[in-house]
Structure 1
Amino acid sequence: MLDHTLLNIPAPRFAEVVTWYTAALAPIGYTIQKEFADTAVGFGPDRTSIVFWLAAKKVPAQHPSAQKDAAAGTEVGEGGKGTVWGAHVAFRAKDRTAVDAFHEEAVKAGGTCNGKPGWRHMYHPKYYAGFVFDPVGNNIEVVDHGVGS
């Protein structure tokens, strides 16, 4: 069983990404529960369940996005606009309505659709999910498994 997940976010874009997640995760009941200045933010349904963290980091020089920045003449780790980390994180929703609301809010807040809310029967008959790339390219999914739906 996982306890929590942390995504590293390019430091120059940290505030922007925190704002995006604040809007995108509100429909599933996740809010900011803990903050460490401009270095880390923890989200969850309450203060006893902080399960999703964002941390401000410089892009490692060996990372492909840092190499792309260098080739474009941008200082490494200081402003990459492309996909930086490329993680996939899935949050469980209480119902399909929450999946739809997440997708709508996440796109409205500046995310990029990576799969409209809908059935993904290839996973199982009640798998309903929506996917959005966050501002730095992480693939964020919200899924309802149909329990009680």
Structure 2
Amino acid sequence: MFDHVKFGVTDYAASKAFFLKALAPLGVTVASEGPPTYGVELCARGKASLCLFQTGEKPAHLHLAFTAETRQQVDAFYRAALAAGATDNGGPGLRPHYHANYYAAFVIGPDGHNLEVVCHVPDA
């Protein structure tokens, strides 16, 4: 759980487009936006936000985990992220070594960040 996470990206337009497409299954849209050096705030239903801004520096690797309400959202994120240009880092499925209902998918985004969407509830 987080209020917001803000990090730099090396190609603002490409990263913004990637995250909007990959996270669309979770209801993520643009909440606010300034110039690329300030960035964009992406949010779903007024909850925690993800903020991206343009930087010339290559950021360190980052792991971001987003909460899904259903396993179908995890599956949809994975398909959307791959279609948006992500690299597979672990397809949708149970990860029982975390807990019995940990259903997640992992991809590597445009700047090498490990992105995860996880659902913690049993399948309906």
How far is 1:50 from its partner? Answer: 5.1
How far is 1:148 from its partner? Answer: 7.4
CA RMSD of aligned residues (A): 1.6
Uncovered stretches (5+) of structure 1, i.e. residues with no partner: 60-64, 66-83
Q: Structure 2 matches for 1:112-131, cutoff 5 A?
A: 112-131=87-106
Q: Number of matched residues?
A: 123
How far is 1:8 from its partner? Answer: 1.3
Please give the alpha-carbon distance, in whole angstroms, between the structure 1 residues aligned to 2:74 and 2:50: 17
* Partner residue, 1:43: 42
* Partner residue, 1:3: 3
Q: Structure 2 matches for 1:1-149, cutoff 5 A?
A: 2-10=2-10, 13-39=11-37, 40-46=39-45, 48-49=46-47, 51-59=49-57, 84-146=59-121, 149=124
Superposition TM-score, scaled by structure 2 size: 0.91
**Deviation sequence 1:111-135 (CA, Å, 0-9, x none):** 0010000000000000000001111
The answer as to whether partners of 2:71 and 2:123 remain within 8 angstroms in 1 is: no
The answer as to whether partners of 1:42 and 1:50 remain within 8 angstroms in 2 is: no
Superposition TM-score, scaled by structure 1 size: 0.77
Please give the alpha-carbon distance, in whole angstroms, between the structure 1 residues aligned to 2:60 and 2:32: 23
Identity percentage over the alignment? 37
Higher relative contact order (CA 8 A, sep 6+): 2
Q: Could you say which structure has the higher helix fraction?
A: 1
The answer as to whether partners of 2:107 and 2:115 remain within 8 angstroms in 1 is: yes
Amino acid at match of 1:24: A
Q: Which runs of 4+ in 1 moved over 6 A?
A: none
